[in-house]
């Protein structure tokens, strides 16, 4: 059972990371929450999760755009049975207009951070004799959309890194996999709805169905609870031979 293990979830004060942390805690996993801020709310959130589920929960500040912060997060946590690389940002612009600093930030946070945390966590997993690396990629780790060059490149990179991590740990009780969500209604996506309603002169429902979920055949968002459940499955004994692969949670997007 996964109860009593320690999970570090990067970028977990909101959205998918928070959902995964919550489902892990519900299953008895001790959790380390992370973001780049260090507010009272960050620590209160960890305390609330710990109290609700009777697990050890704490918040550690670390900026996933910085290599040394990524490694320090793992070191400071002191244990890492389950590593969930989830922190990510987005920027939408054509290649010619794409700001170099946005490209660099997206590659650093969405891709490089997973390399640094994995490098720091693998020795701990080897010492503990068990480990799970779960990378939150995206449907954009498998397919592309225009105007998302950095994001699509980073997410394809995450899928590649996942495969290499799996091969380097193949003969050990460690697995590495990527979860590829389609659209999930997180604060990040929610914030785009009002502007899109204005742009297209559409109702909220039409924006969701005909713009956002245009490529998601189910016409429904995936939920953060479902992604938490997927992460827990990857930690289960049933998934011990599941490694180096991707699991799509995208309502059929990548079947198109």
Q: Which active-site residues does the annotation give?
A: 151
Piece in contact with ligand NAD (CB under 6 A), picked from 20-28, 33-41, 121-129, 161-169? 33-41
Largest pairwise CA distance in the chain: 57
Angle at 144 between CA 140 and CA 145, to 5 degrees: 105
Answer yes or no whether residue 57 interacts with ligand NAD by CB under 6 A.
Answer: no
Answer yes or no whether residue 63 interacts with ligand NAD by CB under 6 A.
Answer: yes
- Among residues 144, 188, 197, 239, the one that binds ligand NAD under rule CB under 6 A: 188
Q: Cα–Cα distance between 65 and 63 in angstroms, integer? A: 5
Sheet strand arrangement including 57-61 = 57-61, 30-35, 6-9, 82-85, 131-136, 174-181, 246-249
Answer yes or no whether residue 149 interacts with ligand NAD by CB under 6 A.
Answer: no
The 10 Å Cβ neighbour count of residue 47 is: 13
Answer yes or no whether residue 29 interacts with ligand NAD by CB under 6 A.
Answer: no
Tokens 């997180």 correspond to 186
3-state secondary structure of 142: coil
Answer yes or no whether residue 251 interacts with ligand NAD by CB under 6 A.
Answer: no
Contact 37, 59 (CB under 8 A): no
- Among residues 186, 216, 230, 248, the one that binds ligand NAD under rule CB under 6 A: 186
**Nearest-approach distance from CB 88 to ligand NAD, in angstroms:** 2
Answer yes or no whether residue 32 interacts with ligand NAD by CB under 6 A.
Answer: no
- Among residues 6, 30, 138, 149, the one that binds ligand NAD under rule CB under 6 A: 138
- What would the two tokens of residue 35 be? 């973001």
Residue partners of 196: CB distance under 8 A and separation at least 6? 202, 207, 211, 212
For residue 183, what is the enclosing H or E element?
none
- Interactions with ligand NAD, residue window 77-136 (CB under 6 A): 86-89, 109-110, 136
Piece in contact with ligand NAD (CB under 6 A), picked from 5-13, 49-57, 96-104, 193-201? 5-13
The residues with which 180 forms a beta bridge, in sequence order, are 248
Answer yes or no whether residue 162 interacts with ligand NAD by CB under 6 A.
Answer: no
**Nearest-approach distance from CB 100 to ligand NAD, in angstroms:** 17
Q: Cα–Cα distance between 249 and 253 in angstroms, integer? A: 9
- What would the two tokens of residue 126 be? 């080897």
Judged by CB, which is closer to ligand NAD: 4, or 99? Answer: 99
Piece in contact with ligand NAD (CB under 6 A), picked from 22-30, 49-57, 177-185, 197-205? 177-185
- Among residues 183, 208, 246, 253, the one that binds ligand NAD under rule CB under 6 A: 183
Contact residues toward ligand NAD (CB under 6 A) are 11-17, 34-36, 63-65, 86-89, 109-110, 136, 138, 181, 183-184, 186-189
């Amino acid at each position: 059972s996964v109860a009593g293990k320690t999970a570090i979830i990067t970028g977990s004060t909101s959205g998918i990371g928070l959902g995964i942390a919550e489902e892990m805690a519900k299953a008895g996993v001790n959790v380390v929450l992370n973001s780049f801020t260090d507010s009272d709310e960050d620590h209160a959130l960890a305390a609330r999760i710990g109290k609700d589920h009777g697990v050890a929960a704490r918040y550690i500040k670390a900026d996933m755009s910085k290599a040394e912060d990524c490694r320090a997060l793992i070191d400071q946590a002191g244990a890492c049975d389950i590593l969930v690389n989830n922190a990510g940002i987005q920027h939408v612009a054509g290649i010619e207009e794409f700001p170099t600093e946005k490209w660099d930030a997206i590659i650093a946070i969405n891709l490089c951070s997973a390399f640094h945390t994995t490098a720091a966590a693998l020795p701990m997993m080897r010492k503990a004799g068990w480990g799970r690396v779960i990378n939150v990629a995206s449907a954009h780790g498998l397919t592309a959309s225009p105007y998302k060059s950095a994001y699509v490149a980073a997410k394809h990179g995450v899928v590649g890194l996942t495969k290499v991590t799996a091969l380097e740990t193949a003969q050990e009780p460690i697995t590495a996999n990527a979860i590829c969500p389609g659209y999930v209604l997180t604060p990040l996506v929610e914030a785009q709805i009002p502007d899109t309603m204005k742009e297209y002169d559409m109702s909220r429902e039409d924006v969701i169905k005909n713009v956002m979920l245009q490529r998601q055949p189910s016409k429904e968002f995936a939920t953060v609870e479902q992604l938490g459940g997927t992460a827990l499955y990857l930690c289960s004994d049933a998934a011990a031979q599941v490694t180096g692969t991707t699991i799509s949670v995208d309502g059929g997007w990548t079947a198109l």
